[in-house]
Structure 1
Amino acid sequence: MTEKLETVIPGNGVHIHLVPGRKFKTVSITAKFRAPLSRDTITKRALLPYVLQQGTLTYPDRSAMQAKLDALYGAVLSVDSSKKGNNHIITIRLETANQKFISDEASIMDEAVNLLKEVIFHPISENEAFLPSVVDREKSTLQQKMNSIVDDKMRYANMRLIDKMCSNERYGLHIQGYEDDLKSITAENLYAYYQSVLKTDQLDIYVSGDFESDVMEEKIKSEFERECDWDSKEAMAEPNSEKQSDGPNEMMETQEIQQAKLHFGYRTHITYADNDYAALHVFNGLFGGFPSSKLFINVREKNSLAYYAASKFESHKGLLFVFSGIAPEDYGQAREIIEKQLEAMKNGDFTEEEMANTKALIINQLLETMDDSRGLIELLYQQVVADTEWSPLDLIEGIKHVSKKDVVNAANKCDLDTIYLLTSKGGASSE
């Protein structure tokens, strides 16, 4: 039985996760709102957290909010939205000093909890609407973020790969939303949607740091009590991983670029809740997760065909992505060598020593993530999204026991779904 990292207090409106630890010198409170990915709501959800952090009833603008954060010894408020499998997650974090380490300060935690409560439940509003000036400003900022994606060619290429690969699936939705939707978002309808988020999203609150668990439990319970109509059936209705066709889809785009982007998308048919998830971790480490991996050594080092070559996987949708930056004229050869690396993994073409080294790298990576409060919470939240009890320490134990046969089995579950090439005009063509 592995060490217990968190205590979970379930409730109808909010699940509280207490993650006590003396190694953290600050206290972090993280609220995670979860709902199914939906084309109808994704742009509002992308915009909402940035509007919420602009002010509350007590601290009605950014300068008042920042002054309060500064008064809490430089507390940091941050927000974002992300997708995990078929779920859309809004995250609001507040990290503050621990009053245990500051003399004559007994109210820091009460003030921090109250501030986060205000951000979530009492944002600045008037007449059942957010402030139009705030909404317009944040819409403009979000539009700039959407437009900037095309300038980050690696990110753009992966977005286009997923567009093709998951065209009829929730996961294909753009997490930053859509420019067309911004025009129809108003201070009124965004506020109405915010009210529905409070009523229907699953809310999990994580508190990590050096604190008394019973005191913190009562504090969070008293401030964040709510009723909730969360229903996970919608998110679970669509299968996480399904093969699109008998052969890989191919997509090529051209732009004025010097370095082409060759990306692959695979269906792994393995997610966080599956027994062979640890084997998928080890497979990815050997395949393309580290500088010692097959992709890095064979595509980049031995054949000098890529400026970079790596892989990563999505834990809840069951997808694996390969990224490479190549010269446009090297497309055919690079594609062939990348595909050969997966075949080598399927055939068990790796040593026990390579596997042991890769396991050590993965475990060290996980331990480093767990040493960071934010990273630990993200790892723990995997269990919520997957609806399973398999902690980061359980995962580490699982990785230790992965056999070569397990890795080969995981490799053989991987189906090539889509190949995407972003190349120069007049550059490589499909060969």
Structure 2
Amino acid sequence: MIQEEEVVQGSGLDVHLIPTAKYKTTTLVLQIKAALTRETAAKRALLASVLQSATNDLRSRKQIRLYLDDLYGAAFHTDVQKKGENHIISMRMEIANEKYLKEAPSLFHKSISFLQHALEDPYLPDGKFAEKVVNEEKRTLKQRIQSIYDDKMRYANKRLLEVMCEAEPFSIHPYGEVGEVENISLRELTDEYRRMLEEDDICLYIVGDMEPEEAKEAASMFTLDPDRKLAARSSAVNHNSRTQPREKIETDDIQQGKLHLGYRTPVTFSDSRFPALQVMNGLFGGFPNSKLFINVREKESMAYYAASRYESQKGIILVMAGIEVEDYEKAVAIIKEQMEDIRKGRFADRDVEQTKGMVKNQLLETTDNPRGLIELYYQGRNADHPRTIKEWLQAVDDVTREDVISCAETLELDTIYFLRSKEDNK
């Protein structure tokens, strides 16, 4: 049975309950959304880590860990991500469902109380975050950013978006840059935290065997101002329509070339054509039966990997391939040819049906995980276009080959980015 969400209006905080007896745990996720900006990305990424490290009652990671251990091994984690041109801080807890424990304390009540304190009552000695805590989290965040540079496929993807979307918020990495992290002062971080409470869109997702009344109780424990004025949010807008694709070639200390292409489309999550573009991307490079995988990787044997990913909150399809430097021009030509084949309808009906089945299976597999289930529903909230899982599956089922061709015709190749070894630079 597919779980559907129920929205409980709270005082300053909406609670999205997805009731299910499928899991023996309860998952709680606070989603905190602001516009993605160069000025705030690093601050918010650092803020997410600091809020995980100390509350006014529990002033170190060790104290927090011991407290969570007492809650039957509850887990608590924070992170940041971008969805379209919005920046999301996620604060997650996973707790045992007390219905399955003998003589358990009120785990749900205690966990919501902890989450509320982590958000609204952090450790602020002298009205600012603690210097020791902030410095520790700065080191960790800088290491996380550095790991992107060490993983050349992730780095190439980062550079593609920076080149392709240079004048757009989507070019900004959700962690910010190392230099930006280093320069954040305690006062700036505290000011960003207070702005977050006053202006960000904050909601709570709960997945577990729970009644709406319990969700209402959770909402009532937060003290966010119900009359606070939320800041304007970003919506996906495609810019820089080019008459010719931009080409950018850079060098690095690598063995294998990283070829990344960026296509733009006006079809985003909120568009009725979104399920058809999901299927089109699956046919293009999303699955092992895709054209990129079969024709670039298998038949031509010129790519160590070849795949595509659809950024539906923005309207971008990203192609990623690992190739030898001498195969650059041939690989670009073959990738373009696969897209042209879809535009011309050069694929079998059975390919569409097989891909539709894979898209639906992927959706259903995602619903098997509480965090995945929350992610699916939150996409609809972020795009201001709620879509139930049942509606989503039916929409995929209804996709025709004509829909796939029509979606392919909306795509425009915007940028070609190639990262290759310094030795091969002529």
Contact between 1:198 and 1:228, CA under 8 Å: does it hold in 2?
A: no
Q: Which residue of 2 aligns with 1:277?
A: 274
CA distance in structure 2 between the aligned counterparts of 1:154 and 1:20, rounded to whole angstroms: 39
Q: Which residue of 2 aligns with 1:16?
A: 15
Matches within 5 A, 1:75-94: 75-94=74-93
| Alignment deviations for residues 383-418 of structure 1 (CA, whole Å, 9 cap, x no partner) | 111101212221111000000000000001000000
Shift of 1:426: 4.1
CA distance in structure 2 between the aligned counterparts of 1:230 and 1:383, rounded to whole angstroms: 22
Instruction: Check if 1:291 corresponds to 2:277.
Output: no
Q: Which residue of 2 aligns with 1:152?
A: 151
Q: Which residue of 2 aligns with 1:407?
A: 404
C-alpha change, 1:233 and 1:62, in structure 2 (3 Å) is: closer
CA distance in structure 2 between the aligned counterparts of 1:414 and 1:246, rounded to whole angstroms: 13
Shift of 1:228: 5.4
Secondary structure of 1:270's aligned partner: coil
CA distance in structure 2 between the aligned counterparts of 1:427 and 1:228, rounded to whole angstroms: 60
| Alignment deviations for residues 144-172 of structure 1 (CA, whole Å, 9 cap, x no partner) | 22222111000000000000000000111
Instruction: Check if 1:310 corresponds to 2:334.
Output: no
Shift of 1:243: 4.0
Give aligned pairs, total: 426
Instruction: Check if 1:262 corresponds to 2:259.
Output: yes
Please, which of 361, 374, 383 is the counterpart of residue 380 of structure 2?
A: 383
| Alignment deviations for residues 172-207 of structure 1 (CA, whole Å, 9 cap, x no partner) | 112111222223312222112101101100001001
Contact between 1:312 and 1:321, CA under 8 Å: does it hold in 2?
A: yes
What stretches of structure 1 of length at least 5 have no aligned partner? none
Q: Which residue of 1 aligns with 2:322?
A: 325
CA distance in structure 1 between the aligned counterparts of 2:276 and 2:127, rounded to whole angstroms: 51
CA distance in structure 2 between the aligned counterparts of 1:315 and 1:12, rounded to whole angstroms: 31
Supply the RMSD in Å over aligned alpha carbons: 1.6
Contact between 1:14 and 1:225, CA under 8 Å: does it hold in 2?
A: yes
CA distance in structure 1 between the aligned counterparts of 2:319 and 2:285, rounded to whole angstroms: 8
Shift of 1:368: 0.7
| Alignment deviations for residues 185-240 of structure 1 (CA, whole Å, 9 cap, x no partner) | 1222211210110110000100110112212322332335433544464513xx52
Q: Which residue of 2 aligns with 1:360?
A: 357
C-alpha change, 1:406 and 1:428, in structure 2 (3 Å) is: farther
Contact between 1:291 and 1:297, CA under 8 Å: does it hold in 2?
A: yes
Q: Which residue of 1 aligns with 2:212?
A: 213
Contact between 2:8 and 2:215, CA under 8 Å: does it hold in 1?
A: no
Q: What TM-score comes out, normalization by structure 2 length?
A: 0.97
Matches within 5 A, 1:53-202: 53-202=52-201
Please, which of 238, 241, 253 is the counterpart of residue 241 of structure 1?
A: 238
Identity %: 41
Instruction: Check if 1:340 corresponds to 2:340.
Output: no
C-alpha change, 1:333 and 1:198, in structure 2 (3 Å) is: same
CA distance in structure 2 between the aligned counterparts of 1:4 and 1:377, rounded to whole angstroms: 11
Secondary structure of 2:183's aligned partner: coil
Q: Which residue of 1 aligns with 2:225?
A: 226
Q: Partner letter of residue 201 of structure 1?
A: D
Q: Which residue of 2 aligns with 1:31?
A: 30
Secondary structure of 2:322's aligned partner: strand
| Alignment deviations for residues 83-142 of structure 1 (CA, whole Å, 9 cap, x no partner) | 111111000001100000001114111111111111111111211111100101111111
Contact between 1:200 and 1:229, CA under 8 Å: does it hold in 2?
A: yes
Q: Partner letter of residue 48 of structure 2?
A: P
Q: Partner letter of residue 74 of structure 2?
A: A
What stretches of structure 2 of length at least 5 have no aligned partner? none
CA distance in structure 2 between the aligned counterparts of 1:58 and 1:186, rounded to whole angstroms: 24
Q: Which residue of 1 aligns with 2:371?
A: 374
Contact between 1:57 and 1:124, CA under 8 Å: does it hold in 2?
A: yes
Shift of 1:263: 0.4
Q: Partner letter of residue 418 of structure 2?
A: L
CA distance in structure 1 between the aligned counterparts of 2:298 and 2:2, rounded to whole angstroms: 41
Shift of 1:14: 1.5
